[in-house]
């Protein structure tokens, strides 16, 4: 539920518009719009909002076989207000929420064979049984040879214990190949404002690529032997909601076009992040998350212009 007020806190906002989204679902739809078949794993309530979300994501071409419906809890809802500086005010209605009730038993329907990439965040780490199910899902995806992508996507309002959040995020790191962090979360996640030092800490545990999204500044990358910034595009941003997820969809779609080792060459990184920045920039030009995700044709037209 997203406030349309250009610069208001959640308390100040007078009305909210139903706006489908949620980080991993945004990435799944974003990938499909870029021509990459995706599946969404998770859980919604067996209620009107849950049915609406499932149908909407399925209509985008996302395989929803691993998406469960439950009567035990309601579909989780987030209320979002965006401030002019791009900062978001977010409150979750999730006490309990269907997503957090996703358990090991729900993994049965999930297709772990022939996966190119498995992408996840940290909202699903904040409560059990979903937390346990996520670690198991990542292990299974790794065992099947998938590239593991992680966006810590830290949402402070979902955590009573920030140290636990950080611990769980760091338990994920050794299981991942690609880690994307937004610049405003960087210091919380890594404990340093320094990009090089924080990225080195993450890469020492196994991930081969660390990317920091930096809003209009673009993105920073760090791989073995190279690091740097790839400038963002000058656009008139209307709503930055979903920009990070559009960026991740672009990044993963590009990484899947060749082997990870080839992608991590410095020249390729610049090309890949230019494409990802274009996806992010285009997503800022429409309001909402899912409705704002660009198609491949839109990204190519934007880059060619």
Interface with ligand ADP by CB under 6 A: which residues?
A: 182, 213-216, 218-219, 232-233, 235, 237, 240, 243-244, 247, 277, 280-281, 284
Nearer residue to ligand ADP within complex by CB, 215 or 288: 215
Task: Report, in Å, the least distance between residue 146 CB and ligand ADP.
Answer: 22
Task: Report, in Å, the least distance between residue 276 CB and ligand ADP.
Answer: 6
Task: Report, in Å, the least distance between residue 63 CB and ligand ADP.
Answer: 25
Task: Report, in Å, the least distance between residue 136 CB and ligand ADP.
Answer: 26
Task: Report, in Å, the least distance between residue 52 CB and ligand ADP.
Answer: 24
Residue 49 corresponds to which tokens in the numbers above?
A: 């909002």
Nearer residue to ligand ADP within complex by CB, 64 or 255: 255
Q: What region, left, alpha or beta, does residue 215 occupy, with left being phi > 0 and alpha being psi -120 to 50 degrees?
A: left
H runs (alpha helix) in 175-214: 183-190, 195-203
Give buried/exposed letters for 96-124 (b at 16+ CB in 10 A, else e): ebbbbbbbeebbeebebeebebbbbbbbb
Residue carrying the six token digits 């998350």: 289
- If one counts every other C-beta atom within 10 angstroms of the C-beta of residue 92, the result is 17
Q: How far apart are CA 224 and CA 242, in angstroms?
A: 29
Q: How far apart are CA 46 and CA 156, in angstroms?
A: 27
Residue 217 corresponds to which tokens in the numbers above?
A: 């500044």
Nearer residue to ligand ADP within complex by CB, 88 or 142: 88
Nearer residue to ligand ADP within complex by CB, 50 or 232: 232
Residue 61, SS3 per DSSP: coil
Task: Report, in Å, the least distance between residue 59 CB and ligand ADP.
Answer: 24
Nearer residue to ligand ADP within complex by CB, 76 or 277: 277
99 alpha-carbon distance from chain centroid: 15
Q: Which residues, at least 6 apart from 193, have a Cβ–Cβ distance to it below 8 Å? A: 186, 187
Provide the CB-side half-sphere exposure for 206 (13 A, CA): 13
Task: Report, in Å, the least distance between residue 296 CB and ligand ADP.
Answer: 17
234 alpha-carbon distance from chain centroid: 23
- If one counts every other C-beta atom within 10 angstroms of the C-beta of residue 144, the result is 13
């Amino acid at each position: 539920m997203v406030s349309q007020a250009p610069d208001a806190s959640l308390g100040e906002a007078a009305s909210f518009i139903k706006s489908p989204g949620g980080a991993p679902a945004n990435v799944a739809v974003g990938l499909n719009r870029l021509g990459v078949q995706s599946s969404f794993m998770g859980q919604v309530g067996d209620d009107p909002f849950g049915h609406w979300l499932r149908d909407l994501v399925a209509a985008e071409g996302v395989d929803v076989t691993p998406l469960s419906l439950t009567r035990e809890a309601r579909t989780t809802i987030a209320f979002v207000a965006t401030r002019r500086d791009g900062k978001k005010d977010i409150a979750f209605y999730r006490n309990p929420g269907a997503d957090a009730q996703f358990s090991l038993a729900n993994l049965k329907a999930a297709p772990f064979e022939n996966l190119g990439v498995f992408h996840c965040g940290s909202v699903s780490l904040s409560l059990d049984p979903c937390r346990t199910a996520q670690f198991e899902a990542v292990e299974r995806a790794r065992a099947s040879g998938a590239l593991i992508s992680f966006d810590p996507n830290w949402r402070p309002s979902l955590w009573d214990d920030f140290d636990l959040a950080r611990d769980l995020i760091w338990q994920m790191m050794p299981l991942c190949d690609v880690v994307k962090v937004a610049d405003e979360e960087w210091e919380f996640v890594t404990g340093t404002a320094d990009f090089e030092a924080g990225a080195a800490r993450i890469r020492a545990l196994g991930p081969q690529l660390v990317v920091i999204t930096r809003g209009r500044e673009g993105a920073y990358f760090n791989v073995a032997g190279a690091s740097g910034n790839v400038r963002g595009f000058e656009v008139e941003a209307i709503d930055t909601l979903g920009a990070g997820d559009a960026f991740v969809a672009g990044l993963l779609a590009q990484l899947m076009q060749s082997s990870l080792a080839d992608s991590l060459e410095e020249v390729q990184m610049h090309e890949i992040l230019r494409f990802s920045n274009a996806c992010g920039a285009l997503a800022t030009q429409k309001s909402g998350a899912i409705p704002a995700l660009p198609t491949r044709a839109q990204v190519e037209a934007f880059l060619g212009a």
